[in-house]
């Protein structure tokens, strides 16, 4: 299990470096969301529903919550070795674009409705 994590971390670090290179000149270029979202999709899935249980579903989550999470990862307020590496190079505009992109996907998430609030 440890080695799986290590491999995932290495893969993501490599992807994060490639990502950082593409994000640095984003300020004077229009955001290509399909390209920007590629590293996210490696774990969170192309449909935003995550490839494994330890990764959250993003599809249909509130866009401002996703943006808040990315800003916290970027500032280091929320610590995660993988997400920290991805979020560091993102601009505010890129965070907003990514959050809206995943929030707009067909969702399996929902607010707890009245019949789900316990006994």
Partner 1 sequence: MPRIVTYRRIVFAGAMLCAMWLGCASAFAADQSKGDPQAGRSLVYTCGGCHGVTGYYNAYPNYHVPRIGGQNYQYIVDALTEYKKGERSHPTMRAQGRSLSIQEIHDIAAYLSSLRK
Distance of CA 104 to the CA centre of its chain: 14
Q: Which two tokens stand for residue 18?
A: 């490639």
Residue 55 engages partner 1 in binding (rule: CB under 8 A) = yes
Provide the minimum distance between the beta carbon of 18 and partner 1 in the complex, in angstroms, as a whole number: 25
Total residues belonging to the chain = 119
Q: In the complex with partner 1, which residue's Cβ is closer, 32 or 64? A: 64
Instruction: Choose which of 24, 62, 81, 92 interacts with partner 1 (CB under 8 A).
Output: 62
Q: For residues 115 and 50, what is the distance between their CA atoms, to the nearest angstrom? A: 26
Rule CB under 8 A: say whether 4 interacts with partner 1: no
Q: From CA 40, how far away is CA 48, in angstroms rounded?
A: 9
Q: What is the binding site for partner 1 (CB under 8 A)?
A: 50, 52-57, 60-62, 64-65, 67-68, 72, 77-79, 107-114, 116-119
């Amino acid at each position: 299990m440890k080695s799986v994590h290590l491999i995932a971390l290495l893969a993501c670090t490599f992807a994060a470096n490639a990502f950082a290179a593409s994000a640095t000149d984003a300020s004077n270029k229009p955001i290509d969301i399909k390209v920007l979202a590629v590293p996210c999709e490696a774990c969170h899935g192309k449909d935003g529903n995550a490839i494994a249980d330890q990764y959250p579903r993003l599809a249909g989550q509130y866009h401002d919550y996703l943006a808040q999470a990315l800003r916290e990862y970027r500032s280091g307020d929320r610590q995660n070795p993988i997400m920290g590496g991805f979020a560091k190079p993102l601009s505010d505009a890129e965070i907003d674009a990514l959050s809206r992109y995943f929030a707009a996907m067909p969702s399996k998430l929902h607010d707890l409705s009245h019949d789900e609030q316990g006994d």
